[in-house]
Chains A and B, each alone.
Chain A
Amino acid sequence: MLSKLLLVGAGGFIGAILRYGISQWISKRTVSTLPVATLFVNLLGSFTLGLLTGLDLSNFSVLFLGTGILGAFTTFSTFKLESVQLRFKKNWKIFVLYTVLSYTLGIALAWTGFQLGGIFSS
């Protein structure tokens, strides 16, 4: 249990730093009402987790890479807070677009990654 926790924690350390770094980098270079930085990390992370799941890796890899790194790299709370902020600004078009893009592309990319992983692992 403790070794599992350490694996997840180490992965979380890396994933959070990666998300923060990439978000900072994107935010400095883009001017957009759509929160592209969070959208990008969430979509990239969804695809990669799908791929890892399809590859059917060891328990060790799943905990470190999946639960730890990708779990922390992607975020739900920031996505929702950004949506609520768009709602309070009455920016309905971007609010709907952000929600629709996140869920449809996130799930489609996880599915695509999962199928690809399945092909490679067989």
Chain B
Amino acid sequence: MIYFYVGIGGMIGASLRFLIGEWLKAPDQWFPYSTLTVNLTGSFLLAWFTMGIVEKFSLSSKWKAALGTGLVGSYTTFSTLSMDAVSLYERGDVVLSLLYIAISIFGGLALSMLGFTLGKRRAS
């Protein structure tokens, strides 16, 4: 049954990611803004949710899996990130490709850490 909840979370998460992609369709042609947007916001959300909300409201494993693993996990993506980096490189934009990877690495870590710290503070 928990698989079903994870699936529903995945359905919502993927749909939100798609909608942000549609919204940023024009700037996306130059640089993968939409993937960066979902990945960075999602990194913050998952850390904040896992360290804060789950602890504070002592959520059951069902909710943790549905909202964390399912929804936020599917809202963010790694396969598109890899393919974006390849596409930029194939297009001849090597510098942009490296910039994209650097923003993903450091931006993702920074936002996840921020969510982690704020979540912990909220839980205590």
Contacts and interface: CB of A to CB of B under 8 A. Distances in A.
B19 A16 contact: no
Question: In which size bucket is the chain A interface?
Answer: 35 or more
Contacts of A20: 3, 6, 65, 69-70
A75 B43 contact: no
Interface string A62-82: 010011101111111111110
A50 B90 CA distance: 12
Contacts, number: 183
The main secondary structure of chain B at its interface with chain A is helix
A20 B42 CA distance: 17
A15 B19 CA distance: 17
Interface of A: 1, 4-5, 8-17, 19-21, 23, 42, 45-46, 48-50, 53, 63, 66-68, 70-81, 83-84, 87-88, 99, 102-103, 106-107, 109-111, 114
Interface of B: 3, 6-15, 17-19, 21-22, 38-39, 42-43, 45-47, 50, 65, 69-70, 72-83, 85-87, 89-90, 101, 104-105, 108-109, 111-113, 116
